[in-house]
Structure 1
Amino acid sequence: MSERTESLLQAAADVAEFAAGVAMQWYGAGVTVETKGDGSPVTIADREAERQARAWIERRFPHDGLVGEEFETVRGDAKRRWIFDPIDGTKAFVRGVPLWGTLVACCEGDTVLAGAACYPAVKETVAAARGEGCWWNGSRAQVSSVSALAEATALVTDSRFPARPHRRDAWFDLVANVAVSRTWGDCYGYLLVATGRAEIMVDDIMNPWDSAALQPIITEAGGRFSDWRGRATAFGGDVIATNAALANATHRYLLESSAGATGDS
């Protein structure tokens, strides 16, 4: 990437691109799909990409912790840790749909220092770090300036979203007021928001490896990233990501109080 010195930002981008390249070796190859205990799919591509990403970090940052979707945590008490999702969008990956990505985040506590997402099948990488901006294929990324819901594009991963009935009602109330709604989901939706091609992306359930890398990408591109309670966190278990201009309007539909979400945290 241009105009930046070697940094955690560069490391996050490099390891995301490296691991995505590993996963690409199996893309379109008809890999065997296994089902994990939580019902989600996994393949040899997921496991090998994460294994090699962990080894990449071990060689360069041997004292840092390692957290990922497919393997046990290493050095969980380390001050700084790297969080991996080797293939975000495995269901798309195994069907030959290119809207999947590799996510990498570097964190201290609950602060995400840097995050990167590589989408090798569509040849796009976006990466960001606190105070260093968001970069998309070597150029600055910026959320859109769309300020009217009637002109906005709103995205979600699955048409069956959300699972919680009161959230479903809120989502469809929002969708009734936007120009376009699509299920260009998983991490690809956040790429579109960060690069100004969509305005709203929402997820009902997010693990740390799903969301950590995306927070700095959205915020450093000028957007807003919160959970459904309005907290600016990458670890809230759910996500509302918007451009800056539509954050308040979106939150009026979607934000929920603790009292109103009993049993849904």
Structure 2
Amino acid sequence: MSTSLEQMLDFARQIAYEAGQITLQYFQRGVTVERKVDESPVTIADRAAERHLRAMIQAAYPDHAVLGEEDGLSGSEHATYRWVLDPIDGTKSFVRGVPLYGVLIGLLREGEPVLGVIHLPALAETVAAAQGLGCFWNNQPCRVSSISTLRESLVVGTTAHDYERYAKEAAFQRILARAALFRTWGDCYGYVLVATGRAEVALDPAMNVWDAAALLPILTEAGGTYTDWQGTPTIYNHEGIGSNKHVLPELLALISGEEQV
């Protein structure tokens, strides 16, 4: 199969949808929850969706590597392309019957994120992007908002507590005090809101690479940014901020303490 980004994006959209349909078979059905070593939840839906994604990728691109949250790395560590999968981003929402969860597919080329898909099965929404091709929300072009100040901004976050565990509590409180509105519409859904112009900032004090790989190309192609809390565009620093770009300097000044509320 072709390795053009456009064709790989179409492929990723399709398999994200298929994996999402698998998750819906278990959604709001009282699925059994297990605990991983780190105490995070996992269900049969996570595992079944990831197995499907892996099988489809390995059949279409046998020379590509695959890294998934549930089953780790398969294929060569030195492969040019590596698919990065989170079959259910927002498992805690999923197990409570809340529809704000998504299937995440990212693609790295020589370690650089170049393609991302977020499919929200229970909401029937998909946001997809690839480097140089733009960002699309349900197949229509989408952009971040043009709001330029935090005092006008909607800030969303996966959590409203535990920032002190990551030495971010003071920065978080400064952001809260400045923002027009804060809501805990988190996990991948928060970044979908930023990419589609419905929120200005999404915050996560802790991230894994499978949480982040799809986000950087999506937000960049939508005209925004995905960075760590120091403003570096990376998926590897175990933390994340999505923004509409316009409010990022103000946000970073608050985080560093250079600017006070």
- What TM-score results when the alignment is normalised by the length of structure 1? 0.92
Does residue 1:19 correspond to 2:28, yes or no? Answer: no
CA distance in 1: counterparts of 2:98 and 2:167, whole angstroms: 31
Q: What letter corresponds to residue 241 of structure 2 in structure 1?
A: I
Answering whether residue 153 of structure 2 is matched by residue 152 of structure 1, we say: yes
Structure 1 residue 255: deviation in Å? 4.7
Alignment partner of 1:29 is 2:25: no
1:197 alignment partner in structure 2: 198
Alignment partners' CA distance in 1, 2:213 and 2:166? 26
- SS in structure 1 opposite 2:168? helix
> SS of the counterpart of 2:14?
helix
Match of 2:49 in 1: 49
Flag the 1:125–1:253 CA change in 2: closer, same or farther, 3 A. Answer: same
Q: Deviations over 1:92-115 (max 9, x none)?
A: 001100000000011123211211
What is the 5 A alignment of 1:180-259? Answer: 180-255=181-256
C-alpha distance 6-231 of structure 1, shift in aligned 2 (>3 A) = closer
Moved more, 227-236 or 92-101: 227-236
Which residue identity does 1:97 align to in structure 2? V
Contact 1:12/1:106 (8 A) holds in 2: no
SS of aligned partner of 2:87: strand
Does the 8 Å contact 1:16/1:104 carry over to 2?
yes
Displacement, 1:254? 2.0
TM-superposed deviation, 1:165 = 6.2
Q: For 2:113 and 2:256, how far apart are their aligned partners in 1? A: 23
How far does the alpha carbon of each residue in 1:59-99 deviate from its partner, in whole angstroms, 9 at most, with x for none? 11111001000003111331111010000000100110000
Deviation at 1:121, TM superposition (A): 0.5
Task: Look up the match of 2:38.
Answer: 38
Structure 2 letter corresponding to 1:211: A
Q: Distance in 1 between matches of 2:73 and 2:148?
A: 42
Residue of structure 2 equivalent to 1:119: 120
Q: Kindly report which structure 2 residues correspond to 1:170-181, keeping only aligned pairs within 5 A, or say none.
A: 170-181=171-182
Q: SS at 1:228's partner residue?
A: coil
User: SS at 1:241's partner residue?
Assistant: strand
Distance 1:165 1:176 in 2: 19
Contact 2:6-2:130 within 8 A present in 1 as well? no
Give the AA of the match of 2:57: I
| CA–CA separation in structure 1 for the residues paired with 2:160 and 2:228 | 20
* Equivalent residue, structure 2, for 1:261: none
Identity %: 45
Distance in 2, matches of 1:141 and 1:255, equals 31
State yes or no: 1:93 paired with 2:94.
yes
Distance in 2, Cα, partners of 1:153 & 1:224: 16
Q: 1:260 — aligned with what?
A: none
- The 3-state SS of whatever aligns with 2:73 is coil
Secondary structure of the corresponding residue to residue 72 of structure 2: coil
| Contact 1:228 1:256 (8 Å CA) reproduced | no
Instruction: Give the Cα–Cα distance (whole angstroms) in 1 for the partners of residues 184 and 100 of structure 2.
Output: 11
Could you say which residue in structure 2 is the equivalent of 1:64? 64
SS of 1:176's equivalent in the other structure is: helix
Q: By how many angstroms is 1:256 displaced?
A: 8.4
Query: In 1, distance between residues paired with 2:43 and 2:25?
Result: 12
Listed as ranges, the gaps of 5+ residues in structure 1 are 258-265
- Distance in 2 between residues matched to 1:204 and 1:166, nearest whole Å: 9
2:115·2:214 contact (CA, 8 Å) conserved in 1? yes
Letter of the aligned partner of 2:70 in structure 1?
A: E
Greater alpha carbon shift after TM alignment, 163-172 vs 177-186 = 163-172
Q: Does structure 2 retain, via aligned residues, the 8 Å contact 1:110–1:234?
A: no
**Tell me, which stretches of 5 or more residues in structure 2 are unaligned?**
none
| Partner Cα separation in structure 1 for residue 52 and residue 235 of structure 2 | 24
Equivalent in the alignment of 1:162: 163
